[in-house]
Structure 1
Amino acid sequence: MPTPGLTVADPAAASPGAPSPVRPMDAPAAGLSVASGPTVTGHYVDGVLVEGARSGGTPVHDPATGELIGVTGHAGPATVARALAAARAAAPGWAARPLAERMRYLDAWRERLAAAADALTELVVDELGLIPEFARRVHVGRAVGCLEHLGELAEAVLTPRREGTSLVVREPAGVVAAITAWNFPLHMLVSKISSAIALGNTVVIKPSEIKSLAAWAATRLLAQVGLPPGVVNVVGGTGPEVGAALVAHPDVDMISFTGSREVGRSILATTATTITRSVLELGGKNPALLLPDASLDEALPGVLGSCLFNNGQVCGAQSRLIVPRALLAEVEERVAEIVDRTVVGPPRAAGTGLGPVVSAAQQARVSGFIADGLSSGLRLLRGGLGLPEGLPASHHGGYYLRPTVFTDVAAGHRLAQEEIFGPVLTILACDNVDDMVAVANGTRYGLTAAVWSADLDRSIAVARRLNAGQVVVNGGAFNLAAPYGGVRESGNGREHGREGLAELTEVKSLQLPA
């Protein structure tokens, strides 16, 4: 991905407190590979990288083979307390710096991430079991991409505006506690940190303990850019320990969480006593509507691509395909052909189209949904239980699943209502567009949706009727500059874009004399 050059002012001419000039890394990939043995991740607290302990940590396995490749070090209560105290102490000085100064640090981080793209890609492949091209383009690409126009968006959010005799300003929220999910560990860490500190906040972030290697590598690169101590603090550990401690702490002004609906509810219950604001992204059960005039040649590959995106483990996956009943037979035939062409296997093997899910626990969870569909009499179009055919014996210890499609599923069935987070698609048939909209809106979720029609205006009209925070219209591409988030039990607030950045600020009105 092309990365704009970094311009650093002469240190002699720099303003007091400005970062020192940043030299390009001599060996940007040094130390980022896990090839030499299991990596133990640590913590970054008050400007210091702290070594993590192998004992008592969470093992990180290569999902393609089951091999141990790392250990997530766990922060104790004292480390968490130091991180929060450091963030609180650094908050006034960091907020007082001009946006341009804050962005110079983030530009330097972006440069390092881009230079280390090869090594970061290998880490993502190793810990998530993804095809290398996808890991580089999506995981590493989005981590770098979210920094490229951040300064412009932040300036738009922070620019004061007049409302009659009032001046309305946005100021940093303060200390932000951020918690990431395991399915996009690199991008989420970079995005949550950069969005918060660009606006003048300080951060204490807990990466997912399940997949922490790429996030730790990015943290080590951030430690090289010379941030003032305490502006960013990264603490490893589990949700019930570190995550819960962050959420409940009175020094936290804002919470940014991506994860399960159950944990989101727990956060809301905890913050009811502290009145701490939160942005929660809690997943979805996302519908794709094929209107009667939709092109199946374009729509079906798009829907299957979304459902199997990130090995089926993405909150925005289009996992419910809603079609006109008159087209059901043709849709089934074409979907079966696409699935039959999808090769499941080792991520680095030529021709592989789908890798494993992330862990043995996730493999068991998704298999449980498939077993439920089979036992309840759903019509299985493709897939089912067991390892995929042709999988090399050397990978039988990996966490592979067969891409599975159930068809003509009732709208109220568990597989059409609950987020599976795996390569499982349900096809639902309706008699008219109004019924399709009703079925699409008939879950507790509302994160994303998709609409396909030969008539763009018709697609947009139907999209406006869907209860979702984001709707993909006729295959429109994901845009990091647009807000992302859900309604209903998919969460509250937004990330990305101006709206997402605005969530990390507080609004103040200055009532001026007439």
Structure 2
Amino acid sequence: MMEKRQFFIDGAWVDPAEARDLEVINPATEKAVAVISLGTAADVDRAVEAAKRAFLSWSETSVQERAALLERTIEIYERRSAEMDEAIRLEMGAPADFTREQQTPAGTGHLQATLEALKSHQFERPSPRGGSVLRHEPIGVCGLITPWNWPINQIAAKVAPALAAGCTMVLKPSEIAPLSGLLFAEILDEAGCPAGVFNLVNGDGPGVGAAMSAHPDIDMMSFTGSTRAGVAVTQSAAPTVKRVALELGGKSPNLIFADADLETAVRFSLESCFSNTGQSCDAPTRLLVENGVYEQVVALAGNIAPETTVGDPAKPGGHIGPVISELQYERIQGHIERGVADGARLVAGGPGKPEGYETGYYVKPTVFAGVTNQMSIARNEIFGPVLVMIPFETEDEAIRMANDTPYGLAAYVQTGDPERAKRVSRKLRAGSVYINGASPDWDVPFGGYKQSGNGREYGEFGLEDFLELKAITG
């Protein structure tokens, strides 16, 4: 078992102020693979002090210096990508092929998109009517809190633009999936990141997250996670009036119209919902289907869903792995059982573990039909491989139903009519809309409406989140 008890503070690996061990559990085996220490407010104080001190010089570096650091980081990250694959597989049970093809490359994608944005960004420009200079400056010391479901994706999506902007930072990765964050700290250290610019403190929300959010010397909090936790971060940050950027939950609608290529649309819908074992905040988990083809789509889903199999993350293949933890497994089972109790019809999957997988937090890929938009399984973010199918009569009803949710992170449209695709997309209250299976690049803004958060990440939009705007007149 790996011992990873130290934190990265002020350019060195240091012992925690107080020993508070936590085992990192491999969700495929239910066994510990590493032990970390949970930090305290004292560790946060030490990291913030280092970041505040480093900000004085890092904020004054040139674009060329910051770009050079990102370039070195990319080179080392790619060289050590196999280590990142293994870290993510062990900490969250992501299958080896999926990790190598999707999870780990996300880090490279964000680093490269940020590098491009940095090189093209105009940090100083004249005001529109002249007479003043508008200047973008780094906001200061940033607290970064990242989740377990796409661990390095969210770390890179925050650390890269913070570095590029000239900010310094304290990162708290998820305490249940910390190995990729610890490896990323090694990569930044090897790349020559100056002492104090990047700091990492492991810990949980009450012990470290709350201390960061309330800290008077942290100028910005960037948080990705549940809406409940995002509210807590915002409340803790309010007394110091720091900037708060949030990327939170979702219950994303996926609209299938009768004029779509139904088999292609259903296959995409299932694969997108079940990908990453359903543990993606923008997963299309509410499938809204035009009534005239509803039963046909239900039948297609029943035939295609069994093609998604579960399996050992260590083995090659296109299967999905376990969910992250026993707690998450029990929550998902509760949602599935509630769906059955509420009268939804099981098309595939159901309660319990797949046959042959009694060890590990494995969930059957599950599809419900006969769902209404008011059922619990249609309202709540399940965060597992569970799809609900809901019929609609008209385009207007589909739009109303899609928007009838407290969330607004993503939405999906499947139709053979380009004009309908444009018309419907404009009316959907979501930060991202994907048409007929399209997917974005790393420079497209990502973030949500309503309780899915505020601010935007990725590329130039993520860079701007970490910048203040100053007007110099006279």
Bucket of the pairwise TM-score, normalised by the shorter protein: over 0.9
Q: Where does 1:83-482 land on structure 2 (aligned, <5 Å)?
A: 83-162=47-126, 163-165=128-130, 166-349=132-315, 351=317, 353-389=319-355, 391=356, 395-482=357-444
- Give deviations 1:298-322, integer Å, cap 9, x for gaps: 2111111111121110001000000
- Structure 1 position 214, deviation (Å): 1.6
Structure 2: where are the runs of 5+ without partners? none
Identity of aligned pairs, percent? 38
Residues 227-260 of structure 1, C-alpha deviations (whole Å, 9 max, x = no match): 2211111111111111100000010111100011
Structure 1 residue 366 displacement after superposition: 0.4
Instruction: Report the more deviating stretch, 53-62 or 85-94.
Output: 53-62
Larger CA deviation: 151-160 vs 241-250: 151-160
Q: What is the count of residue pairs matched by the alignment?
A: 472
Find the residue that maps to 1:305 and give its secondary structure.
helix
Q: CA deviation at 1:133?
A: 1.5
Change in CA separation of 1:43 and 1:336 when aligned onto 2, cut-off 3 Å = same
Q: Which AA in structure 2 matches 1:204?
A: V
Tell me which of 431, 446, 467 is aligned to 1:505: 467
Q: 1:71 to 1:296 in 2, by over 3 A?
A: same
* Partner residue of 2:12 out of 40, 48, 68: 48
Deviations 1:68-108 (A, max 9, x none): 11122222332211110111111121011101101211211
Deviation at 1:53, TM superposition (A): 9.6
- Take 2:101 and 2:319, find their aligned partners in 1: how far apart are those partners? 15
Answer whether contact 1:40 1:53 (CA < 8 A) is retained: no
Letter in 2 for 1:503: D
> Following TM superposition, by how much is the alpha carbon of 1:50 offset from its aligned partner in structure 2, in angstroms?
2.0
User: What is the rounded CA distance, in whole Å, between the counterparts of 1:52 and 1:86 in structure 2?
Assistant: 15
Tell me which moved more, 314-323 or 52-61. Answer: 52-61
Query: Cα offset for 1:489?
Result: 0.4
Equivalent pair of 2:17/2:43 in contact (CA under 8 Å): no
Structure 2 residue aligned with 1:490: 452
Write the distance in 1 (CA, Å) between the matches of 2:3 and 2:417.
52
Structure 2 residue 45 is matched with structure 1 residue 71: no
Cα pair 2:224 2:248 within 8 Å, conserved: yes
Q: Distance in 1 between matches of 2:23 and 2:189?
A: 24
Whichever residue aligns with residue 317 of structure 1, its letter is A
Does the C-alpha gap of structure 1 residues 327 and 194 become closer, same or farther in structure 2, counting only changes over 3 Å? same
Matched residue of 2:408: which SS? coil
TM-score, reference length from structure 1: 0.89
- CA 1:404/1:123 → structure 2, altered by over 3 Å: closer, same or farther? same
Tell me by how many angstroms 1:55 deviates.
Answer: 5.8
- Secondary structure of the structure 2 residue equivalent to 1:317: coil
Question: Does the 8 A contact of 1:42 with 1:53 survive in 2?
Answer: no
1:284-308 residue CA offsets vs partner (Å, 9 max, x unmatched): 0000011221111221111111111
Deviates more, 1:116-125 or 1:418-427: 116-125
Unaligned 5+ segments in structure 1 are 1-36
Determine the C-alpha separation between the residues in 2 that align with 1:42 and 1:408.
51
CA contact (8 A) 1:157 1:498 kept: yes
Which residue identity does 1:434 align to in structure 2?
Answer: D
